[in-house]
């Protein structure tokens, strides 16, 4: 398994931007599908975005399409989530996830998880 460490969360006003980072340990990072999920208080953890091991394929939840961008830097073993035009409903704990074999949007598709970083969007 890979160890994941998220950073970059914080408090931002609606319409603002944040960039989340997820640093992964291990030399096999380039083989992993990487994803971002989020969980708001009282709600289920939901899919946000995923990127393939090569970076050639990306997929997004409908709620964030056109506002969020997932990317990866294999030289830094890091995956990013650029979040623009943030809305109060984006408030949640954001989790980084990784898997060496599955490509999907379900929690069960990912075997490794970070501890999460809080994003709060004020109106």
Identify the bridge partners of residue 4 per DSSP, sorted by sequence position: 24
pLDDT at residue 101, rounded to an integer: 86
In three-state secondary structure terms, 34 is strand
Contact 68, 60 (CB under 8 A): yes
Averaged pLDDT, 37-61: 96
Q: Dump pLDDT digits (tens) for 25-40.
A: 976 888 899 999 999 9
pLDDT at 45: 97
DSSP state of 74: G
The answer to whether residue 108 scores a pLDDT higher than 90 is: yes
Q: What is the mean pLDDT of residues 68-88?
A: 96
Question: Is residue 63 very low, low, confident or very high in pLDDT (cuts 50, 70, 90)?
Answer: very high
pLDDT class of 20 with cuts at 50, 70, 90: very high
Cα(76)–Cα(8) distance, rounded to whole angstroms? Answer: 16
Instruction: Tell me, rounded to whole angstroms, the distance of Cα 114 from its chain centroid.
Output: 10
CA distance 87 to 78: 25
Q: Are 77 and 68 in contact (CB under 8 A)?
A: no
- Mean pLDDT, rounded, of the chain: 95
């Amino acid at each position: 398994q890979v160890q994941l460490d998220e950073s970059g969360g914080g408090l931002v006003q609606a319409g603002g931007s944040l960039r989340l980072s997820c640093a992964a340990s291990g030399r096999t990072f380039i083989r992993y599908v990487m994803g971002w999920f989020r969980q708001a208080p009282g709600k289920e953890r939901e899919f946000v975005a995923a990127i393939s091991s090569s970076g050639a394929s990306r997929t997004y939840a409908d709620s964030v399409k056109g506002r969020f961008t997932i990317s990866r830097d294999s030289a830094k073993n890091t995956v990013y989530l650029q979040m623009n035009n943030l809305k109060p409903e984006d408030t949640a704990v954001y989790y980084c996830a990784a898997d060496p074999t599955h490509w999907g949007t379900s929690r069960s598709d990912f075997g490794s998880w970070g501890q999460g970083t809080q994003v709060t969007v004020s109106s």
